[in-house]
Structure 1
């Protein structure tokens, strides 16, 4: 459910949640096991062995939670983004910051290739964060490929699938489809997600198996590079009209919380935001502690 809640918010990755909760490798292995060889297993050993091979109960629990959360939190997240964005972004800023520090500790050997990989990840995430969003029409083919690209981002720690949709100008149509249960849009988008998920999981799993330190340092860079995008206090330089006819930010610049009220005329909620950052850090620390007790 935490993965689903994170995936609703542009700038936050469900893959980050999977990583810090310790299910990331198991999730990739389960997804990787879904391939054409299952037909042979089905014919020789039956449905039970197929279910065991794909870790079916685990996948049902994870994706059942993700879907439940997306359907439940789509309204709440969009409400807080519209009314209390500073506090919501502050919470996710703290979450990503402490998660990045957690991932740094997962790199067994820091050497020049690992540090270069970290720097490349930071640059890529920062570059994605400052891109000016474009607008694509929500046609079936566009929605299918958008789903495939977005789901790949969703399982990468540090890269948000929702933010990729925002870059394409499709975040509004997709989140509206979730809220209104527009199945004609959701089914096409979902098929793209399934295709992207099953293909990309093989590549990512191979990287983590063969070049784990390089892959994790790259993912850590992607995560830390996204911090600029989720900085809570922003000045809107340009706006656009979205698919619902609402005026939303197009280009924003980060500003100091001390100057935020003077520049924007909006309350900074500085004390509340810092409190939520600390809460996010404490939450991740608690999750890590519970995970270490299990092991």
Structure 2
């Protein structure tokens, strides 16, 4: 009993609120949960923990991952409808908040990567190419509005692959899981499955996410350990490219502009303050 209590106390309960922020971001097209992890100062620990969870060290990761997972899953279930409503009725201010959040975290990445001292022409080339490739996604407008209600072998495989690729949004800042699902034509089906508790569709997409975690986390951990500056260059490029995806444009009139300016300032300030706080912890 004492051992159980000790393990229970080891759980990092503040990761629940971190998970909530990551979960909310992951259901917004263009916004990456990995970006939120960077803002919160837990990105490196997240990659290591997910990678180690699928190894003999899995028990050591539970204190970090269990509360984080509770927050992420809880936020997706609880706020899926709210986020859909905000994006439908107040898209511009909502997107400008996340635009500010991304811009606010970029200076922190410049500092962490020691960009001025360590980056060479090769690093800047990777940064530029990555940013351009991600930015091109912003000009793609696939028809993902159709909702699939009947699960078949063919669309089941497609959902699994979409979940696999979308799982990288938790691991790579700048890549949005929701955007990946849109590009695969699965986003509205996934949101409908969450709201109606369609466990068949949720299970297939979720299985893809889990498999994606196993493969991607170990690969990214390897890159961070062996090519840290090149990896940081790619991450910065991902974030810069995602600005094009998140930017919603400006609607005329003070009723649209003023709230967007306020949310943009709030997003930027949130990223800077949280980044500074978590860097000093």
User: 2:84 is matched with which residue?
Assistant: 78
User: C-alpha offsets along residues 111-170 of structure 1, whole Å, 9 cap, x if unaligned?
Assistant: 111111110121111122222325596621111111111112332101101001111111
Q: Indicate yes or no: 2:39 matched with 1:20.
A: yes
> Counterparts in 2 of 1:1-295, with a 5 A limit?
1-35=20-54, 38=56, 50-52=58-60, 55-108=61-114, 109-133=118-142, 139-233=155-249, 257=250, 260-261=251-252, 269-294=256-281
Paired residue secondary structure (1:269): helix
Aligned residues of 2:52 and 2:58 also touching (Cα < 8 A): no
Moved over 6 A (4+): none
Measure, in 2, the Cα distance between the counterparts of 1:213 and 1:4: 28
Q: Where does the alignment leave 5 or more consecutive residues of structure 1 unmatched?
A: 39-48, 234-256
Relative to the length of structure 1, the TM-score reads 0.81
**Deviation of 1:267 (Å):** 7.0
Measure, in 2, the Cα distance between the counterparts of 1:179 and 1:219: 32
User: C-alpha offsets along residues 150-200 of structure 1, whole Å, 9 cap, x if unaligned?
Assistant: 112332101101001111111000011111111111111111100001111
Aligned residues of 1:93 and 1:232 also touching (Cα < 8 A): no
Q: Decide whether aligned partners of structure 1 residues 207 and 176 sit closer, same or farther in structure 2, where only a CA change above 3 A counts.
A: same
Paired residue secondary structure (2:104): helix
Aligned residues of 2:40 and 2:278 also touching (Cα < 8 A): yes
Q: Decide whether aligned partners of structure 1 residues 216 and 71 sit closer, same or farther in structure 2, where only a CA change above 3 A counts.
A: same
Larger radius of gyration: 1
The structure in which a higher percent of residues are helix is 2
Aligned residues of 2:41 and 2:279 also touching (Cα < 8 A): no
RMSD between superposed Cα atoms in Å: 1.8
Aligned residues of 1:104 and 1:217 also touching (Cα < 8 A): no
Measure, in 1, the Cα distance between the counterparts of 2:226 and 2:44: 13
**Deviation of 1:110 (Å):** 2.1
Q: Decide whether aligned partners of structure 1 residues 225 and 288 sit closer, same or farther in structure 2, where only a CA change above 3 A counts.
A: same
Measure, in 2, the Cα distance between the counterparts of 1:134 and 1:288: 36
**Deviation of 1:203 (Å):** 0.7
Measure, in 2, the Cα distance between the counterparts of 1:158 and 1:125: 8
Aligned residues of 1:86 and 1:268 also touching (Cα < 8 A): no
User: C-alpha offsets along residues 72-91 of structure 1, whole Å, 9 cap, x if unaligned?
Assistant: 11011000111010110110
**Deviation of 1:50 (Å):** 4.6
Measure, in 1, the Cα distance between the counterparts of 2:279 and 2:168: 28
Q: Which has the higher contact order (CA 8 A, sep 6+)?
A: 2
Aligned residues of 2:160 and 2:205 also touching (Cα < 8 A): yes
Instruction: Number of aligned residue pairs: give it.
Output: 252
Paired residue secondary structure (2:113): coil
